[in-house]
Copies of this chain bind each other. A is one copy, B any other.
Amino acid sequence: MRNRFNEQLEQLNVELIKMGALCEEAISAATKAYVEGDRELGERARSLEQDIDHKERDIESQCMKLLLRQQPVAKDLRAVSAALRMISDMERIGDQAADIAEIARYMEKSAILRQVPMEEMALAAIKMVTDSVDSFVRGDLALAHSVIAQDDQVDSLFLSVREKLTALIAGGENGGLCLDLLMIAKYFERIGDHACNIAQWVEYAITGDYEDD
């Protein structure tokens, strides 16, 4: 019974890693769709969002089976419970990547895209997602904590983007484009928040403590 449980938990981990990889790919595709104005990559981000949604349903049903058949307790129960919450955050990350791609699709090309630190935000957000999934895979509490710390950087980049956009508007830049850029920055910031949540669930799975921010 125990061995069977461990096998199933191992299988669950593999699926979570796959879902994390899909999220990273979706954010990268959305970022490139934005930076390079590449429509195909935008399509890719949207199709990855669908894959992520399916993966979420599969993992959820796997977790439910585990809970019902194996009735885990203590740390094992926490692992399944954390997995159920992590997939919800990963699903939202997929949504946000698709939202970025959707805005990028209709956004006009403009030199001001280079004037806001959006790529820096994108890279920081992707790193948070990668690290949060890695921290789960390795059971690495220090890495989970570093993800939570990285969130301040993404939040502060969001404020920089916002400030820059306010200045651009004051300088007479196209308002619609600035509003689009603010939304994209907000989506990257939200991706950071979700990675942070994932790291908090990793902490909960390992220690039993959950620290809400």
Number of copies: 2
CB atoms of B64 and A68 under 8 A apart: no
Residue of B nearest to A163 (CB): B176
Pairwise interchain contact A77-B64, C-beta atoms closer than 8 A? yes
Asked if A175 contacts B186 (CB within 8 A), the reply is no
- A183 contacts chain B at the CB level, 8 A cutoff: yes
A169: interface (CB < 8 Å): yes
Across the interface, A68 reaches (CB within 8 A) one of B53, B71, B166, B167, namely B71
Residue of B nearest to A183 (CB): B186
Residue ranges of A at the interface with B (Cβ–Cβ < 8 Å): 53, 57, 60, 64, 67-68, 71, 73, 77, 81, 84-85, 88, 162, 165-170, 175-176, 178-179, 182-183, 186, 210, 212
Interface residue SS majority, chain A: helix
Chain B contacts for A167, CB-based, 8 A: 175
Q: Which of B64, B73, B88, B162 contacts A88 (CB 8 A)?
A: B88
Residues from chain B with Cβ under 8 Å of A168 in the complex: 175
Q: What are the residues of chain B within 8 A of A165 when measuring CB–CB?
A: 175, 179
Cβ contacts A to B, 16 pairs, < 8 Å: A67-B68, A68-B71, A166-B175, A166-B176, A166-B179, A167-B175, A168-B175, A169-B169, A169-B176, A169-B179, A170-B175, A175-B175, A175-B178, A178-B179, A179-B179, A179-B182
Cα–Cα, bound, A169→B167 (Å): 12
Inside 8 A of A176's CB, which chain B residues have their CB?
A: 162, 166, 169
